Structure 1
Amino acid sequence: MTTTRLQLVAHAPTRALRLATFGGGNVDLDEGGRRAALALANQVPAGRGESCCLSSPAEAALQTATAWGLRPAIEPAIADCDYGDWTGRSLDEVAAANPGGLRRWLTDPDAAPHGGESLTALVDRVGHWLHAQAVRSARITAVTHAAVIRAALVNILRAPPAAFWLLDVAPLSVLHLRAGNRGWRVHLEPPGPINAVRR
């Protein structure tokens, strides 16, 4: 039986991401981000054989995929978390302007003090998308956001939404997954050039 193999890739760095800006992937890659993406161009197997490539609608995700010579299909379900009024603002700015709201967001997965998407809603959205991909019997590369990859891991590990904060995902990190009879499994790759790129 053919199984679905999915690799989730966090988009390359942006200046906004380096400044801890909410929605930091909704801007163009900077020069450092472009160089980092190009360094992986020969290591990402999407686009070969029966593979397909998907991308978040965000510019940074699309530009990461196109840096590899791919033409991704846009997949809204793997868009970054909707940060509402906080989009484009730095963590420090939000902490100064709305410390109570930030504290609620960091401690209550159901809270959405910015008027956007709660962590619970993000985890649910990503979980529904993962369920739909599991029956495709395909090889898929999806260029997305760190928050989406964290939400995917919360789903696969059947962890509570609060576990989201225990997971760190660096730019250009790759999460390898395989779908089988018992659902998704995390597949750890052996060390190789893709893991040697400095983030």
Structure 2
Amino acid sequence: MDTRLLMISHASTAAQRAGRFPADDPLDARGLAEAHAYAARITPAIGQGAAAYVSPAVCARDTAAALGLAASVDVGLAEMNYGTWQGRRLADLAVEAPQDLAAWTRDPDAAPHGGESFSNLVKRIGEWLDALRRVADPASKHTRNVIAVTHAPVLRAAIVSALGASPVVFSRIEIAPLSTIELRRSSRGWTWWPASQ
């Protein structure tokens, strides 16, 4: 059975707009308004009977609810672990730990802040994609539609994993709030498609 996966990055948070690493922040009024406006555009692309999953983070769950999705929480879709940088401002870290911050932004294996490296995130999301494939019914002739509401770094990691690319390219992939990517799984593996919305 083929799988069509739409992955959506959550709506913007006040912390994002302030240049802070996330700390399980809820959506504020602006983020909720963005998500509600986006719902009208994304709903036709979701498809009938889509299985819906969401990161455990509050902002992702708020986004899924605003999109009208009855999504199951899946820890595999969790935000990247920022370790001791969680909730900290990028501008402050650029002054306090410029070398660590520079290494983390350029080296996919760097996790000097005690969190998760991008390479480890790619591995985690690749395992999530493999698990998603395994729960499909191989006897079914229909495409299985799945939607996942998660975080920008997770979408980047999914693209890198699907393409079998080196995690070194992570800094060249930009994912804005409420961006959607489409991945499809067939007999030849995962492929990245333009999101059809």
TM-score, normalisation: structure 1: 0.89
Q: Give the whole-Å Cα distance in 1 for the aligned partners of 2:111 and 2:43.
A: 35
Q: Give the whole-Å Cα distance in 1 for the aligned partners of 2:104 and 2:46.
A: 38
Contact 1:47–1:53 (CA under 8 A) maintained in structure 2:
no
Match of 1:35 in 2: 33
Match of 2:98 in 1: 99
| Greater share of residues in helix | 2
The one of 176, 182, 187 equivalent to 1:176 is 182
How much has 1:47 moved relative to structure 2? Answer: 7.8
| Matched-pair identity in % | 41
Q: 1:164 to 1:55 in 2, by over 3 A?
A: same
Match of 1:163 in 2: 169
CA displacement, residues 128-150 of structure 1 (integer Å, 9 cap, x when unaligned): 11111124443111000000000
Q: Alpha carbon RMSD of aligned pairs, Å?
A: 1.7
Q: Does 1:7 align with 2:6?
A: yes
CA displacement, residues 18-72 of structure 1 (integer Å, 9 cap, x when unaligned): 1221126x21111111111001223335886321111001111000011122221
Q: Give the whole-Å Cα distance in 1 for the aligned partners of 2:87 and 2:157.
A: 21
Structure 1 segment 9-158 matched on structure 2, within 5 A: 9-23=8-22, 26-42=24-40, 43-45=42-44, 49-137=48-136, 138-158=144-164
Contact 1:38–1:68 (CA under 8 A) maintained in structure 2:
yes
Contact 2:106–2:171 (CA under 8 A) maintained in structure 1:
no
Q: Give the whole-Å Cα distance in 1 for the aligned partners of 2:13 and 2:90.
A: 15
Structure 1, gaps ≥5 residues long: 195-199
SS in 1 for 2:43: coil
Contact 2:118–2:167 (CA under 8 A) maintained in structure 1:
yes
Structure 2, gaps ≥5 residues long: 137-143
How much has 1:173 moved relative to structure 2? Answer: 0.4
Q: Give the whole-Å Cα distance in 1 for the aligned partners of 2:133 and 2:190.
A: 7
CA displacement, residues 102-151 of structure 1 (integer Å, 9 cap, x when unaligned): 12212222111110111111111011111111244431110000000001
How much has 1:183 moved relative to structure 2? Answer: 0.7
Q: 1:166 to 1:47 in 2, by over 3 A?
A: closer
SS in 2 for 1:177: strand
Contact 1:55–1:62 (CA under 8 A) maintained in structure 2:
yes
Q: Give the whole-Å Cα distance in 1 for the aligned partners of 2:99 and 2:148.
A: 35
Which structure has more relative contact order (CA 8 Å, sep 6+)? It is 2
Q: Give the whole-Å Cα distance in 1 for the aligned partners of 2:164 and 2:69.
A: 32
Tell me the number of residue pairs that the alignment of Structure 1 and Structure 2 aligns.
189
